[in-house]
Amino acid sequence: MFELCASILAADFAHLEQDVRAAEAAGVDAFHIDIMDGHFVPAISFGTDMVRTMARLTSKPLDVHLMVENPLDFLPELAELGVKRVSVHAEIPGGPEAALRAIRAAGMQAGLVLNPETPVEAALPYLKHISQLLLMTVHPGRGGQAYLPGSNEKIAAARALLQERGSAAVIQVDGGITPCTLPGAYTAGARSIVAGSAVFGGTVQSGVACLRRSCAF
């Protein structure tokens, strides 16, 4: 089975509490929060205030994805808010090692993110620091994009690399996940699934049920 992380980027912010309650009732495992700084990616989304709001609205784990140039600036507050897992990009200036170490030192689980054009081998120097390898299956920065061709092959390559190196890191995928694309990602080795529009784009209960059924094989 897989962990389903509902991405609040696709939620209705005018009725955020209602959407969160619906997602909890539908059986999502965690909530995924994208923080964007307008520099590492062009878009600006949430800051730590949204994390604080989500910490009040749910007891489900919070899975934070930092699409920012300076992740160290965010970590003390995220730890204070009880965030379970924080993922940072391999592509940030100076590399991710300092941030990964700081995440773990703060008592949170560390994840490494690879953009679509970044080869899975880029994760090799950091495997001892991470519990999660997040593969972007769209170009980061905005929701609603289509699942990129070649993503399943990259997931399978990542699974092979992790097995070869004896790493227990979980492969997470984010971007373009639907009941049509999820089975391929799951078969290739993804075990943590971020879904936004597929959860919040219609009736939440139905969206979550369709995602779960798509991998009921």
As beta bridge partners, residue 46 has 35
Burial class (CB in 10 A: 0-12, 13-18, 19+), 164: exposed
- Based on its alpha-carbon atoms, the radius of gyration of the chain, rounded to whole angstroms, reads 16
**Active-site choice (19, 34, 37, 63):** 34
Q: How far is CA 17 from CA 22, 24, 70, in A?
A: 9, 11, 30
**Active-site choice (19, 37, 63, 174):** 174
3-state DSSP percent of the chain in helix, strand and coil, to 5: 40, 20, 35
Residue 180 identity (one-letter amino acid): C
| 174 in catalytic set | yes
Distance CA 172, CA 66 (A): 14
| 19 in catalytic set | no
| Active site amino acids | 34, 174
